Homo-oligomer: A and B are copies of this chain.
């Protein structure tokens, strides 16, 4: 497995692969990898000839007061995991390689989409995400790129950027990977102390509750959300940031629960902000 922090070296290697007609997959990550990331690597390895993972804690997607400094890092463990799952190259640049001092070019979806859900409290987050993902796509020129459905708004915004800018890369969304008790895998789970960790599955219980209500015939978004919030509020350590039902493509609020609607939440457990979501599909609507 090649490990490099150099943009030029990645470009050179990928160019050689492409001249040999090989298909290249990219898994962009911020490191501290878990089974969620591993599932993205495995998906890429199964669909592409070569898989590149990037490990870069992108400073421009963190707002003031967010957890850029404390974000967990363990690059040697990341490399072990990546190698064991068949990754071919790790791109691990430092911030100076990605952002020269007078960096000034931003890529931004300027619709209401990035202002919903997480965008309400993280106003510059998706500008940072789009810019760094755009840059990673330019550096790696992947045929396919793999993102987790846990970051559903990020996935929708990246799909929009790729479509709008005619970027020639297929975006593959992959299912949420969960712990045994339902907690969605996240690098930020490491922030939780024992008590908080025990409380954290309340997000998943709320999601299961919402799914059951839809199976039983609930079609009103407002009532669904109220009932999911009620469940969350029973957990003393939980503080709701949002629970919303939105169109899965545009991220705009909906009133009626129909196919393609995304039900998403952000909830603080202690000081740690966790997100989770599910998408309404035909099997849910038919009560299965």
A residues near B (Cβ < 8 Å) are: 7, 11, 18-19, 21, 100, 102-111, 113, 130-131, 134-135, 138-139, 141, 160-161, 163-168, 250
15 additional A-B residue pairs with CB within 8 Å, beyond A104-B109, A104-B160, A105-B110: A19-B19, A19-B21, A100-B164, A102-B111, A104-B111, A105-B107, A105-B161, A105-B165, A106-B108, A106-B110, A107-B107, A107-B134, A131-B165, A135-B165, A139-B168
Partner of A164, one of B105, B111, B167: B105
- SS class, residues of chain A in contact with chain B: mixed
**Cα(A21)–Cα(B160), bound, Å:** 31
A165: which B residues are within 8 A, CB to CB?
105, 107, 131, 134-135, 138
**Cα(A7)–Cα(B100), bound, Å:** 32
Q: Are A113 and B104 in contact, CB atoms less than 8 angstroms apart?
A: yes
A139: which B residues are within 8 A, CB to CB?
166, 168
A111: which B residues are within 8 A, CB to CB?
102, 104
A21: which B residues are within 8 A, CB to CB?
19
Q: Are A166 and B104 in contact, CB atoms less than 8 angstroms apart?
A: no
